[in-house]
């Protein structure tokens, strides 16, 4: 009895068809995976925004603040495991009672949530020179104008010296300090420790510090100065963005949105070169 089998030509045709289908489908799968990560990150930033709102409700409408007198972080549930870890960066721990989960600070599209650019530090005994650490993986940062530095816990053994005296100029803020809460940035995907208008490109390309191990060019969204050529060249690299040429942002009223990098401004007319009131910062028009 004659046995039937595939010929070499038939096998090659089948293999070619599979290869073509794989070439078509793999990019689709990659896009679906990236979209899923963006959705998870957007949900995380939304939860962080809600925790800020709950903090407001429990604190007489005063925005959560950092502390210039560098008190110990009020928990040992950190990577440092230290009860003596002193830091200016108190905001994550002040909203933690409403979160109960440190993982929510991590964006799945952040290639290095333990980056020192974002303030990660697990040194159990930081000195006054490095009392800026955040001893947990973190991918987001707050608006440094709205979430100020000048709060104090009455610490008697912190770093109250000339290195930190400037913080009193950025004190605890009432919620009314946000000029328009629906367009004022509260927190977002970010490549540094605190958002500020001069370094707005660390928001527009949040993975820039991870990819190049250097700060994104400063100067606002208008990108003035000689760094413009470098910036324009490097933003052609898709890996500098967290989510397909954009980032997730939570606004001061608690809602969260995805924004492409070209839509993101600092809201400061002086450095953005856009219309608006000079001096307002980290908001959209």
User: What confidence tens digit (pLDDT) does each residue in 33-68 have?
Assistant: 788 899 999 999 999 999 999 999 998 888 888 888
Sign of CA dihedral 195, 199, 203, 208: negative
At residue 278, does pLDDT exceed 50? no
* Mean pLDDT in residue range 130-157: 84
CA distance 148 to 143: 8
What's the token pair of residue 179?
A: 């000029």
For the chain, give every domain's residue range: 53-272
* Mean pLDDT in residue range 2-24: 76
What's the token pair of residue 183?
A: 């367009």
Contacts of range 33-38, beta carbons closer than 8 Å, 24 or more positions apart: 34/109, 34/243, 34/244, 37/107, 37/108, 37/109, 37/243, 38/109, 38/242, 38/243, 38/244, 38/248, 38/258
User: What confidence tens digit (pLDDT) does each residue in 184-243 have?
Assistant: 999 999 999 999 888 889 999 999 999 999 999 887 766 555 577 888 889 999 999 999
Bridge partners (DSSP) of residue 62 are: 174
User: What confidence tens digit (pLDDT) does each residue in 81-105 have?
Assistant: 999 898 989 999 999 999 989 999 9
> Rounded to 5 degrees, what angle do the CA atoms 44, 107, 189 make?
85
Q: For the sheet containing 246-251, what is the strand order?
A: 140-142, 185-189, 246-251, 256-260
């Amino acid at each position: 009895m004659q046995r039937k089998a595939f010929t070499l030509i038939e096998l090659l045709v089948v293999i070619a068809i599979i290869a073509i289908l794989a070439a078509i489908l793999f990019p689709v799968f990659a896009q679906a995976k990236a979209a899923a990560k963006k959705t998870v990150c957007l949900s995380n930033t939304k939860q962080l925004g809600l925790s800020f709102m709950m903090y407001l409700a429990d604190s007489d409408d005063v925005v959560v603040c950092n502390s210039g007198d560098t008190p110990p972080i009020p928990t040992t549930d950190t990577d440092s495991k230290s009860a003596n870890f002193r830091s200016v960066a108190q905001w994550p721990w002040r909203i933690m009672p409403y979160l109960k989960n440190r993982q929510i600070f991590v964006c799945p599209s952040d290639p290095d949530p333990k980056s020192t650019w974002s303030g990660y530090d697990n040194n159990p005994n930081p000195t006054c020179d490095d009392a800026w650490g955040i001893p947990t993986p973190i991918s987001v940062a707050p608006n440094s104008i709205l979430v100020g530095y000048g709060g104090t816990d009455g610490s008697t053994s912190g770093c109250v010296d000339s290195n930190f005296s400037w913080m009193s100029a950025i004190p605890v803020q009432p919620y009314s300090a946000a000029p328009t809460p629906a367009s004022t940035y509260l927190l977002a995907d970010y490549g540094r420790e605190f958002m500020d208008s001069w370094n707005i490109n660390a928001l527009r390309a949040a993975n820039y510090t991870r990819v190049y191990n250097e700060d994104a060019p400063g100067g606002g969204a208008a990108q003035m100065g000689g760094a413009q050529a470098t910036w324009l060249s490097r933003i052609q690299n898709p890996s500098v963005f967290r989510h397909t040429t954009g980032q997730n942002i939570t606004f001061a009223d608690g809602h969260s949105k995805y924004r492409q990098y070209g839509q993101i401004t600092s809201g400061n007319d002086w450095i953005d070169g856009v219309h608006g009131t000079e001096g307002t910062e980290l908001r959209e028009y």
